[in-house]
Every structure is written in C-alpha cells, then in structure tokens.
Chains A and B, each alone.
Chain A
Amino acid sequence: EAGVAQSPRYKIIEKRQSVAFWCNPISGHATLYWYQQILGQGPKLLIQFQNNGVVDDSQLPKDRFSAERLKGVDSTLKIQPAKLEDSAVYLCASSLVSGGYNYGYTFGSGTRLTVV
C-alpha cells in the first residue's frame, strides 16, 4: 500500500513570501489532516477535511493560511505571507474512519519549512 505522499521535503523562504505544500493521501482514505509541528512540540492540528469538505479549521490562522482539497483526494496548504514563527514541519495525514472509530493516522514524511 502506498503511503501518504508530500512535497516538497524542504523549503527555505524569506519572511513575507508565500509557499505551498502538497499532499496525496492513502487511496480510499476520505479524511485528510494538516498538522504543524514546531521543534520540541507535538503536532498541532491546522485543518481536517472529510472528502472535499472542511470539518475543522478552528486552529488555522486564516489571515495567512489556506488549504483546499478540491476533488476530495490530494490537498494543498498555502501560507501567504510567511512569518518567522511559521518555521516548522508541516505534516499531512490521512485516516480510515469506520463504524465510528478512527483507526489511527498515517503521516507523510512532512515538509520542513524554514522562514528566514
């Protein structure tokens, strides 16, 4: 089974620039998540999609972050403009939810963003 694919692996940008990350989940996983992991902390949920609809974006800084999953498969996360504090690893995950139970996530290898 192919895993969750993410690109790019690394990105260095200057503050106030924009950046986009891409994610392709495991085939058949309707639920897709974007997490932000700052060094030394656990992953923090940014947004959750169920198919192409947003389920939870309460922790997404909407003034600068946006995400979409237009066809209910792959997804993009964008930051515009970036700030220094956005330096983190951006993790995409997908999961199988069946019978009211979440069987756990599979994460992609993440995109390490450095804002200078």
Chain B
Amino acid sequence: RKEVEQDPGPFNVPEGATVAFNCTYSNSASQSFFWYRQDCRKEPKLLMSVYSSGNEDGRFTAQLNRASQYISLLIRDSKLSDSATYLCVVNKDSNSGYALNFGKGTSLLVTP
C-alpha cells in the first residue's frame, strides 16, 4: 500500500461548483497533515495544514479522520484560479525528523 494515496483525477468542474478531494495514508503514527497546491511547472506551495478538529480558510475546508486515516479537502465556489494540482501530504514518521510524504496529486481544472 502506498504511504499516501489520492483520488486519481482529473477533476473538471464549472466555475462556482463545489469539489472534494480525498486522501488516505498508511502510517497510523503520522502527526502532521497538509494540503499543498502545485501550479503547472511551479513548485508546490502550502495551501493549508489539516487539524484534527477540521479547519477552514475562506472557501477551503480540510478534514482529518484519524480512525480511518483519511484526509479531505473541500473547495466551495470554485474559481478559474483554483485550477492546479492538489497534493495530499503526511509526515513520514516521528523518527525521520518530520520529513513529509507527498501523494501523486489530483488535478483540478475549473472551466468557465
């Protein structure tokens, strides 16, 4: 089983739509969880951290279910500028100095 697995994508949605991405991770000892965004031919950039209680940043909501080892990202009212690849990220383990494992990413295309 891969350490971080994401929806295969791509997701093509119209502007204004709500879209959800899912991710599962294999290491039950993981402590840090993030969503990164990567634009075409650019480096990944931190979108948001994911906390156990769930957290929201504007149109973006992240949820964590430790029992199911499942992470989600919800984007409401999609904008054209949301088109990018979204990477689910989990720390490797507590003994590795907090290195992060990245999923393959899910591609989102928001169309007019």
Q: Give A contacts to B, CB under 8 Å.
A: 31, 33, 35, 40-45, 48, 50, 55-56, 91, 95, 97, 101-110
Contact = CB atoms under 8 A, between A and B. Distances in A.
B90 to A, nearest CB: 11
Contacts of B101: 45
A9 B3 CA distance: 30
Contact of B99 (A45, A103, A107, A109): A45
B104 A105 contact: no
5 contacts: A31-B97, A104-B34, A105-B44, A105-B100, A110-B43
A74 B106 CA distance: 32
A48 B43 contact: no
Contacts of A42: 4, 87, 102-105
Contacts of B32: 101-102, 104
Contacts, number: 61
Nearest to A108: B43
A41 B92 CA distance: 17
A50 B42 contact: no
Interface in B1-49: 4, 31-32, 34, 42-46, 49
B30 to A, nearest CB: 11
A55 B96 CA distance: 7
Scoring A40, A43, A45, A102 by chain B CB atoms within 10 A of each residue's CB, the highest score goes to: A43
Contacts of A110: 43
A97 B103 contact: no
Contacts of B87: 42-43
A43 B44 contact: yes
Contacts of B43: 91, 107-110
